[in-house]
Amino acid sequence: MATTKITINSNGSMRIEGDFEIADKNGNTYGLGGREVVSICRCGLSKNKPFCDGSHRGNFEHDAVAFDLPPKKEA
């Protein structure tokens, strides 16, 4: 079983829970204050990016339903 679970919420954020770290483009890690669950913004409206602050409410629609990706292309 994976130590990290990412849940894509309908009309909202991505919830990350478990054993994880989040880094910026330079490899610097965000201080998560001991949290084992965080939500990442998907709508682009959060004032606390990359973290969700609830700004998506009423402004973002996506019905999160799992599907299979096509096979990976050979190089």
The model's pLDDT over 40-58, given as tens digits with 9 standing for 90+, comes to 999 999 999 999 999 999 9
Task: Give a yes or no: residue 74 inside a domain.
Answer: no
Question: Which whole number is the average pLDDT over 61-69?
Answer: 95
Q: Note whether residue 72 is domain-resident.
A: no
Cα angle: 19, vertex 24, 25; to 5 degrees: 130
Q: CB of 16 within 8 A of CB of 6?
A: yes
Cα 50 from Cα 70, distance rounded (Å)? 28
Residue 50 structural domain: 1-64
Q: Confidence band (pLDDT; 50, 70, 90) for 1?
A: low
Q: How many structural domains comprise the chain?
A: 1
Assess if residue 9 is contained within a domain. yes
Specify the pLDDT at position 75: 79
Q: Which element (helix H / strand E) includes 39?
A: strand 37-40
Q: Taking 70 as the threshold, does the pLDDT of residue 37 lie above it? A: yes
